[in-house]
């Protein structure tokens, strides 16, 4: 950890706790700042705030009083989930107080370089692949951010020999000032989180922040098949490394005659990749690019891709039982994700789908249902998904109460050689607290068949 004096005796407000807020407050306290923590949850119910209080940190709980900002704070470190239209944040900006997220702190103290991954879809899979490839290549990676330990905690332990592999959301990237990864990846851009950002332009700009501080000595790996991602690349000062699953490139990562190439070097055959799905090939290409730029050998890359069966709840292979393969894609909380999941298979599919009703119909799924022989529905959107299935000409449609009951019904409808796929196309909140809970119940139900 770099010993910096930047925060010594500075008044800093940490707004919102959770893991990142606790880590930021503790780190700033260690760096000599005068830290005040403000969290909405009452102190009596707030274990994290109580622990910070014991460290000697000032804690104000039970609301976000705007007048707190009149106490002369020189910096606000906000929880990424707090939107910028929050009155406290708006007031801080009006007062000229810088507002950052915990990731910026992590970068400032880290002795290790960063490989940072963002995008609408594929972030978690790509981050996991990069980490696994660097680990197999003995590059001493550490994983941080949304799928690992809080970044500023990891950065305190990292040495120059390590590489911090970090998944970053648009929320986190809006709050950076100097953050500059040695390698940045932008997987893709689609509509997302517009309730937070307000406009797509602001969302894209937040994602583009991943490369805003890069120079010609750093690398920006970017999807060559999207105009919007390439427009972001044009504004970057980094060395651009494109990837494409559709065409051969002069440089970067691409596929030619069934082989994956990085620049002119053949890496491995696509038939040796265990993880299914054309969308996952994009994730794989960007991860290979980052790994090759980090000095990972081809055998290490092959060993990872030949055995990697997916991140949990993201087109995750569960098991094969009586010649049926079961896949858990509970993270598919929208139609695009389910479209990608269905397109990943050539085998006949029994689709398990349904969940929270956000008011939309499911007509966009219809062209993708040609390979689906049966549908098992559940949740608030069961009837809507059934209408789409009937329009696609699917004859066998069954409705059940929940995911647990869907699994044995799907098995009864299946034949040897079929894929039984949970890809709900909906959020889980009508029946389950999270998509992870929904996926875990699916996994348990699959194992109960045995």
Please tell me the predicted confidence (pLDDT) of residue 271.
96
Q: In which domain, by residue range, is 254 found? A: 104-305
One domain, residues 178 and 52: no
Angle at 228 between CA 146 and CA 266, to 5 degrees: 75
Q: Which two tokens stand for residue 245?
A: 């699953």
Residue numbering of the annotated binding site for ATP: 119-125
CATH code of the domain covering residue 72 = 3.40.50.720
Whether 1 maps to a domain, the answer reads: no
One domain, residues 207 and 347: no
By CB neighbour count within 10 A (0-12 exposed, 13-18 middle, 19+ buried), where does 322 fall? exposed
| pTM of the model as a whole | 0.86
One domain, residues 293 and 373: no
Q: Which residue has the tokens 């007031």?
A: 91
Q: Can you list the alpha helix ranges (DSSP code H) found in 111-212? A: 123-136, 151-157, 170-173, 194-197, 200-208
Question: How far lies 18's CA from each of 57, 72, 117, in Å?
Answer: 16, 24, 22
Output 146-150 pairs: Cβ under 8 A, ≥24 positions apart.
147/311, 150/19, 150/20, 150/22, 150/23, 150/102, 150/106
Q: What is the domain count for the chain?
A: 3
Specify the 3-state DSSP secondary structure of 334: coil
Nearest CA to 169 out of 118, 100, 229 is that of: 118
Please tell me the predicted confidence (pLDDT) of residue 136.
98
One domain, residues 275 and 344: no
Going residue by residue through the chain (450 aa), what tens digit of pLDDT does each one get? 998 999 999 999 999 988 999 999 999 999 999 999 999 999 999 999 999 999 999 999 998 899 999 999 999 999 998 988 899 999 999 999 999 999 999 999 999 999 999 998 899 999 999 999 999 999 999 999 878 899 999 999 999 999 999 999 999 999 999 999 999 999 999 866 667 777 889 999 999 999 999 999 999 999 999 999 999 999 999 999 999 999 999 999 999 999 999 999 999 999 999 998 888 999 999 999 999 999 999 999 999 999 998 889 999 999 999 999 999 999 999 998 999 999 999 999 999 999 999 899 999 999 999 999 999 999 999 999 999 999 999 999 999 999 999 999 999 999 999 999 999 999 999 999 999 999 999 999 999 998
One domain, residues 41 and 182: no
Q: Which two tokens stand for residue 320?
A: 């094969």
Please tell me the predicted confidence (pLDDT) of residue 450.
83
Residue numbering of the annotated binding site: 119-125
Please tell me the predicted confidence (pLDDT) of residue 62.
92
One domain, residues 27 and 66: yes
One domain, residues 325 and 406: yes
One domain, residues 415 and 436: yes
Q: Could you say which of 268, 285, 305 is where a domain stops?
A: 305
Please tell me the predicted confidence (pLDDT) of residue 192.
64
CATH code of the domain covering residue 336 = 3.90.190.20
- Whether residue 107 contacts residue 168, with contact meaning beta carbons closer than 8 Å, is answered with no
One domain, residues 20 and 152: no
CA distance 39 to 59: 8
Q: Could you say which of 78, 100, 122 is where a domain stops?
A: 100
One domain, residues 128 and 230: yes
Specify the 3-state DSSP secondary structure of 211: helix
CA distance 350 to 396: 10
């Amino acid at each position: 950890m770099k010993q910096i004096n930047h925060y010594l005796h500075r008044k800093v407000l940490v707004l919102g706790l959770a893991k990142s807020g606790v880590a930021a407050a503790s780190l700033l306290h260690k760096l000599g700042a005068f830290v005040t923590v403000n969290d909405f949850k009452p102190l009596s119910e707030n274990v994290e705030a109580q622990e910070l209080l014991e460290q000697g940190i000032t804690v104000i709980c039970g609301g976000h009083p705007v007048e707190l900002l009149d106490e002369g704070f020189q910096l606000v470190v906000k929880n990424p989930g707090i939107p910028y239209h929050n009155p406290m944040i708006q007031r801080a900006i009006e007062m000229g107080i810088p507002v950052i997220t915990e990731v910026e702190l992590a970068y400032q103290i880290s002795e290790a370089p960063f490989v940072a991954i963002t995008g609408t879809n594929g972030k978690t899979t790509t981050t996991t692949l990069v980490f696994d490839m660097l680990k197999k290549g003995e590059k001493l990676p550490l994983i941080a951010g949304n799928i690992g330990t809080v970044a500023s905690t990891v950065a305190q332990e990292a040495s120059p020999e390590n590489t911090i592999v970090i998944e970053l959301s648009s929320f986190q990237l809006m709050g950076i000032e100097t953050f500059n990864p040695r390698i940045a990846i932008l997987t893709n851009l689609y509509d997302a989180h517009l309730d937070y950002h307000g406009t797509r332009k602001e969302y894209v700009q937040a994602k583009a922040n991943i490369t805003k501080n890069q120079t010609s000595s750093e690398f920006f790996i970017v999807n060559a098949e999207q105009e919007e991602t390439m427009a972001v690349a044009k504004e970057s000062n980094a060395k651009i490394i494109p990837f494409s699953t559709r065409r051969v490139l002069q440089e970067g990562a691409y596929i030619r005659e069934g082989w994956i190439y990085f620049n002119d070097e053949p890496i491995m055959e696509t038939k040796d990749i265990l993880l299914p799905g054309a969308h996952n090939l994009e994730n794989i290409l960007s991860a290979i690019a980052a790994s090759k730029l980090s000095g990972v050998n081809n055998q290490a890359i092959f060993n990872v891709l030949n055995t990697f069966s997916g991140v949990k709840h993201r087109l995750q292979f569960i098991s094969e039982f009586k010649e049926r393969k079961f896949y858990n894609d509970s993270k598919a909380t929208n139609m695009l994700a389910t479209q990608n999941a269905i397109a990943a298979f050539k085998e006949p599919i029994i689709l398990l789908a349904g969940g929270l009703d956000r008011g939309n119909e499911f007509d966009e799924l219809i062209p993708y249902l040609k390979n689906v022989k049966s549908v098992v529905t559940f949740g608030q959107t069961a009837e809507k998904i059934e209408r789409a299935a009937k329009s696609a000409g699917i004859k066998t449609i069954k409705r059940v109460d929940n995911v647990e009951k869907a699994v044995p019904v799907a098995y009864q409808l299946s034949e040897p050689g079929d894929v039984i796929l949970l890809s709900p196309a909906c959020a889980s909140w009508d029946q389950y607290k999270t998509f992870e809970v929904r996926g875990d119940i699916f996994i348990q139900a699959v194992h109960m068949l045995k």
